[in-house]
Amino acid sequence: MSYPEDEDDAALFRSAIGEVTPMRPVETPVTGKPRPKPRARMAEQDESQALGEFARLLRSSGPLDAGDVASYRRENLPARMFQRLKRGQYSVQDELDLHGATAAQAEMMLREFLLEAHAHEHGCVRIIHGKGLQSDGGAPVLKNLVDRMLRQRNDVLAFHSAPLTQGGTGAVLVLLANR
């Protein structure tokens, strides 16, 4: 079917569809109050649970002292592997020394170190935090920081203060999960 070129498209459309009945306008109820903005409730819930878990960890165990052993094991890690870690029987594939770092610097260094350890697929690393004998206020800052941070990470299967020959209570051996 061919149409003359000068005919209007709108006129062609109306002739093609035929007669129509206009719709009535839809009235929206006016309540006076704007609708509330959407909230990410699940994200808020996850955040509050994570903060609650961190607060529980802080309450359940007081800060570590200079001579205290730092120790942690995930439930799914076999006890035999944890015993080998405690004895220092794993080959340490990399090491981070935090001596002289501030808490903020140590936190950043530790995060970067663990990312790099995973990139190189290291299974066991040593973190030297010192015993904290120079800390003001008594509690070793870096030792407690390392303890708290490692407990929060999903990629850490276990950690334990190193044997005396590898740094004693001034260092931890960390067993990392495979990717």
- Give per-residue pLDDT as tens, 45-93: 766 666 665 555 555 556 777 778 888 999 999 999 999 999 999 999 9
Indicate the domain borders of the chain.
65-176
DSSP-derived letter for residue 146 is H
Cα(123)–Cα(176) distance, rounded to whole angstroms?
5
Q: What is the mean pLDDT of the chain?
A: 83
Q: Kindly state the tokens that stand for 152.
A: 């929060």
Task: Report the pLDDT value the prediction gives residue 98, as an integer from 0 to 100.
Answer: 93
Query: Which pLDDT value is given to residue 36?
Result: 77
Q: What is the reported pLDDT for 149?
A: 92
- CA 61 to CA 17: how far, in whole Å? 78
Region of residue 6 (left: phi > 0; alpha: psi -120 to 50; beta: else)? alpha
- Domain 65-176: state its class: alpha beta
Strands 71-73, 171-176: pairing is: unpaired
pTM: 0.64
Sheet holding 71-73, edge to edge: 71-73, 156-161, 171-176, 124-128, 94-97
